[in-house]
Amino acid sequence: MIRFEAVTKAYADASPAVDDLTLEAPTGAITVLVGPSGCGKTTTLRMVNRMIEPTSGRITIDGVDTASMDPARLRRGIGYVIQHGGLFPHQTVERNIATVPLLLGWDRAKALSRARELIELVGLPAALGRRYPAALSGGQQQRVGVARALAADPPVMLMDEPFSAVDPVVRDQLQEEFLRLQSHLGKTILFVTHDIDEAIKLGDQVAVLRVGGRLAQLAPPAQLLAHPADDFVAGFVGRDRGYRALGFVAATLPVRPERTVALGSTVGAGEGWVLVVDDGRPLGWLDTARHPGPVDRSSLALGGTLASAGGSLRAALDAALSSPSGRGVVVDDEGRVVGTATPSDVIAAIEAQRAESAAGGGAP
Amino acid sequence: MIASVWSWLTDPANWRGAGGISSRLGEHLGYSAVVILIAAAIAIPLGLWSGHSGRGRWLISAANAARAVPTIGLLFATSLWLGPHVTGDLAFTVPSILVLVLLAIPPILAGAYAGVEAVDPAVRDAARGMGLTGPQVLRKVEVPLALPLLVSGLRSAVLQVVATATIAAYVGLGGLGRYLIDGLASGRYAVMAGGAVLVSGLALVADLVMAALQRLAASPGLLPPGRRKRRSDRPDAGPDPPHGTTVDVPAGQDREGSRTHRR
Ligand SMILES: Nc1ncnc2c1ncn2[C@@H]1O[C@H](COP(=O)(O)OP(=O)(O)O)[C@@H](O)[C@H]1O
Ligand SMILES: [Mg+2]
């Protein structure tokens, strides 16, 4: 657990960058610091590994005051990932990743084999280990940055906008993999971003900071969306928050049975949209009016999203809205079709869920 | 004229003996090596320290300003000044070495400083953030990254010293400068021209050696992508960029282009 106790940082001749911050980042969870540019997120993060010294207040990790530790030793025990990777251009990827283990005195062979293990863990091809950073794409460099921070298996990780320098598609992919990794590793993570969507997607809890480094709200993402503490948070959380909040509401959808057909079977022109599957898994929708006859893979309409049976109402609504047939495909854990739901089915479920929580006076 | 220079250069008799070309070459190289070693021992640590700490920048400016002092004037001045205090051969050796060291320091100092100073702040920051101590950051990150510029500074110092070590002859010391002075004094222009040819040849060879060293000094990660593999793998391989003999045209320019994450 990382604890900030009344921490203030004032740079010379300026109003404080971080002002009287009290915050707890629980063990094994992702705490996201989010806020507009210049609100003191980086300063907050860097005070944990003493890259910046607080003006006043105390920061403890598992009860130990960081001010009492040697800064270099403290940092070797904390994974640190920065926006542009900060990889050493003169060293191979492997050698970059092995940095902290080597500093800790591991023998070279062990450190390098650990590096190779991590290359795989972060989803990079093993051959990249002997390349130099300049030969890597931005997304690959960020993965190496994460691998390097994980190398000595530190319990605590600090991540400063690690995914903001890559394009949106790669970012999405990195976020997914980051969550998958964290579900195995269970690190205590302090994660900085200026992107509220990223904060909501990744955070177990989200701390919203306002300019001047004051904590505006600390809450789990669902609560932040449903009950912003004030106008600043409501404004920052943004326009689509009603829709995004659905992401935290589990669906209890009345799923309609859906007729499915296999590739190669024959359909008639009057059958409307039919769902084509392979071994129960959806391949796509087919417009029988345009492609009557034997079902051919190339005539499928692709692009509809899938909702999982136990998933969120947001995913269900998105599946219903994005389906060319107007019926969203719901699948089970194995990815097999369970049935479909229309947009009005989902809206009805949302309203039912509302009525229920209003009656219970409970959670959002 | 050219023929007489050629015959002087190729006459084996001119190469042998105490005043022969071989021993003059040896003296010349010896002085140059001593000078470069002393200058490097002073300038490299100073430059690295200044680049690492961001302090003492005035040193680099001061050293650069000192380049404006004419070497030969400085040589006579130091000889006159030291003459009464030092006896024997040293009275001549010390001023020559001193003057040449002063000549060699600015490019080495500038190269070492610029090399460290040019290190990407994000890289330096990441190094500290991972728990490298100050000296470790210098040793494991800044120095390796500074090497191409550092060696480029060294290279320009070598070129200048080898060319300028001829002046040692003015104060009665050996080296290839003797041929210039003696040739001039005795009106044997073939000897003078031959000496000049030898000095240029030596400078050229030294520069080539330094150029090779410069290539070896850079980590493969710092070379532009095309050079990391064999030349022929790169269809768009153009001619080499012109080699700077001063640090003002650093090899580090190439390095910027390969940092894909800093577009
Ligand atoms: N080294 C510094 N010296 C002076 N002011 C600084 C320094 N670093 C950051 N600041 C100021 O502190 C405030 C917070 O900066 P920072 O923590 O980097 O914000 P964020 O990461 O949220 O964008 C900004 O107003 C910034 O200008
Ligand atoms: Mg920042």
How many residues in chain B?
A: 263
| Contact in structure between A343 and A317 (CB atoms under 8 Å) | yes
Q: Tell me, yes or no, whether B234 lies in a domain.
A: no
Chain A residues with CB under 8 Å of a chain B CB are 49, 51, 72-77, 80, 82-92, 99-100, 103, 132-138, 141, 148, 165
pLDDT tens string B69-92: 787 788 778 877 877 777 776 777
| Ligand index nearest the alpha carbon of residue A38 | 1
Q: Domain of B109?
A: 18-219
Token couple for A56: 């006043």
CA A237 to chain centre: 16
Mutation probe of ligand 1 site: the residue of A8, A11, A191, A209 with most atoms within 8 A of C-beta? A11
Averages of pLDDT over runs of 10 residues in chain A (364 residues) are 96 89 96 95 97 96 96 96 90 97 96 96 94 93 95 96 86 91 95 94 96 94 92 87 81 85 89 91 91 88 82 88 92 89 91 81 49
Q: Tell me, yes or no, whether B262 lies in a domain.
A: no
Look at residues A35, A46, A47 and name the one whose alpha carbon lies nearest to residue A6.
A47
Distance A326 CA to ligand 1 centre (A): 49
Q: Tell me, yes or no, whether B232 lies in a domain.
A: no
Q: What pLDDT, on a 0 to 100 scale, did the predictor assign at position B60?
A: 85
Residue B88, Cβ neighbours under 10 Å: how many?
7
pLDDT tens string B161-190: 999 888 877 776 788 888 888 888 888 888
Q: Whose CA is nearest to atom 11 of ligand 1?
A: A17
Supply the mean pLDDT for chain B.
81
Residues β-bridged to residue A285? A275, A301
Q: What pLDDT, on a 0 to 100 scale, did the predictor assign at position B207?
A: 94
Cβ of A339 below 6 Å from ligand 1: no
Q: How many domains does chain B have?
A: 1
Which of A21-25, B210-214, B252-256: highest mean pLDDT? A21-25
Mutation probe of ligand 1 site: the residue of A8, A19, A42, A46 with most atoms within 8 A of C-beta? A42
The C-alpha atoms of residue A295 and residue B152 are separated, in whole angstroms, by: 69
| Contact in structure between A87 and A96 (CB atoms under 8 Å) | yes
Q: What pLDDT, on a 0 to 100 scale, did the predictor assign at position A251?
A: 66
Q: Tell me, yes or no, whether B205 lies in a domain.
A: yes
> Does B260 contact A85 at a Cβ distance shorter than 8 Å?
no
Cβ of A16 below 6 Å from ligand 1: no
Which phi and psi (to 5°) does residue A55 adopt? -75, -40
Q: Tell me, yes or no, whether B243 lies in a domain.
A: no
Cβ of A36 below 6 Å from ligand 1: no
pLDDT tens string B88-143: 767 777 888 888 999 999 999 999 999 999 999 999 999 999 999 999 999 999 99
Lookup result for tokens 């993402």: A221
Q: Tell me, yes or no, whether B247 lies in a domain.
A: no
Rounded alpha-carbon distances, angstroms, from residue B24 to A2, B182, B201 = 71, 13, 14
Q: Is A265 left (phi over 0), alpha (psi -120 to 50) or beta?
A: beta
Residues β-bridged to residue A64? A61
| 3-state SS record for chain A | CEEEEEEEECCCCCCCCEEEEEEEECCCCEEEEECCCCCCHHHHHHHHCCCCCCCEEEEEECCEEHHHCCHHHHHHCEEEECCCCCCCCCCCHHHHHCHHHHHCCCCHHHHHHHHHHHHHHCCCCHHHHHCCHHHCCHHHHHHHHHHHHHCCCCCEEEEECCCCCCCHHHHHHHHHHHHHHHHHHCCEEEEEECCHHHHHHHCCEEEEEECCCEEEEEECHHHHHHCCCCHHHHHHHCCCHHHHHHHHCECCCCCECCCEEECCCEECCCCCEEEEEECCEEEEEEECCCCCEECCHHHCECCCCEEECCCEHHHHHHHHHHCCCCCEEEECCCCCEEEEECHHHHHHHHHHHHHHHHHHCCCC
Look at residues B80, B66, B75 and name the one whose alpha carbon lies nearest to residue B95.
B75
> Does B261 contact A76 at a Cβ distance shorter than 8 Å?
no
Q: Which residue has the higher pLDDT, A173 or B226?
A: A173
**Residues of B with Cβ-Cβ distance to A133 under 8 angstroms:** 221, 261
Helix B177-186 and helix B21-53, axial crossing angle in degrees, nearest 10:
130
> Does A82 contact B122 at a Cβ distance shorter than 8 Å?
yes
Q: Tell me, yes or no, whether B253 lies in a domain.
A: no
DSSP B25: H
What are the residue ranges of helices labelled H in B11-56?
12-15, 21-53
| Contact in structure between B158 and B210 (CB atoms under 8 Å) | yes
| Contact in structure between A206 and A200 (CB atoms under 8 Å) | yes
| B 213-242 near A (Cβ less than 8 A) | 219-222, 225, 228
Q: What is the CATH number of the domain that holds B67?
A: 1.10.3720.10
Which residue pairs from A278-283 have beta carbons closer than 8 angstroms and sit at least 24 positions apart in sequence? A279/A336, A280/A334, A280/A336, A280/A337, A281/A331, A281/A335, A281/A336, A281/A337, A282/A306, A282/A329, A282/A331, A282/A335, A282/A337
CA-based nearest distance B208→chain A, Å: 24
pLDDT band at B251 (very low <50, low <70, confident <90, very high): very low
Q: Tell me, yes or no, whether B105 lies in a domain.
A: yes
The C-alpha atoms of residue B229 and residue B208 are separated, in whole angstroms, by: 22
| Contact in structure between A7 and A201 (CB atoms under 8 Å) | no
Q: Is A279 left (phi over 0), alpha (psi -120 to 50) or beta?
A: left
Q: What pLDDT, on a 0 to 100 scale, did the predictor assign at position B227?
A: 56
Does B136 reach chain A within 8 Å, measured CB to CB? yes
What are the residue ranges of helices labelled H in chain B?
2-10, 12-15, 21-53, 57-66, 71-82, 90-117, 121-129, 134-136, 143-164, 177-186, 189-217, 225-228, 252-257
Cβ of A18 below 6 Å from ligand 1: no
pLDDT tens string A130-178: 999 999 999 999 999 999 999 999 999 999 999 988 888 888 889 999 9
Q: What pLDDT, on a 0 to 100 scale, did the predictor assign at position B258?
A: 37
Interface test with A, best of B130, B216, B260 (most A CBs within 10 A): B130
| Contact in structure between A204 and A220 (CB atoms under 8 Å) | yes
Token couple for A309: 């049976």
